[in-house]
Structure 1
Amino acid sequence: MLENNPPPLAIASRVLSPETLAALRRSPYHLAAWRIADRWALEQPEDLRALGRQGEIFVLIRLLEQQQLEHEALLDASEALREGLSPAEVFRQHGIELRL
């Protein structure tokens, strides 16, 4: 378990190149993509590094796709979230894979 709630992209900064991180800090990426990048860096650092070795564009495209999937699912489930459903449960209900 992580303590002290690290700032966005702190974990990803250990895995991704500075150039990729700089690109992630610009639009159309937002906090959701930063959390996804941190999640992948924490849970699958080697897979994320491998994707980065294929090229920055592959990381950026994959993150944008995942950001859109997760963001849309959360928007669709706003009422359920207010009633106590967790984001992970929303993603599961929508069949969204959280791993890279």
Structure 2
Amino acid sequence: MTRLAGDPGAWRRVRYALGFRLPAENRDWVRHDLTDAGWRGRMLFRHLAIMIPVCVGLGLLPAEWWIRVMVGMLALLASMFTVAVSADDLRRSRLRRHGLDQ
């Protein structure tokens, strides 16, 4: 697969996944990311990459092993459901944040 013009590096992708705005030089990549086929899957994958360390941290809290597993799973499933339900609004917000129209 070829890289798109304006494809951000690893550090910028992490910042983008955390919700920060990318510079204007990455605008074409952002447009592609949020409007091309598969944008929902990419959004869920980015959220998953953020939530896994959080869930691991929750799993390290002191409790019975099954409670730690269930708390992590609850956090993961609830947040994934929330992102899936509000994906259109999240996309619209990111497009506006980067100065793009739908």
| TM-score, structure 1 normalization | 0.36
Q: Say which structure is richer in helix.
A: 2
Rg comparison, structure with higher value: 2
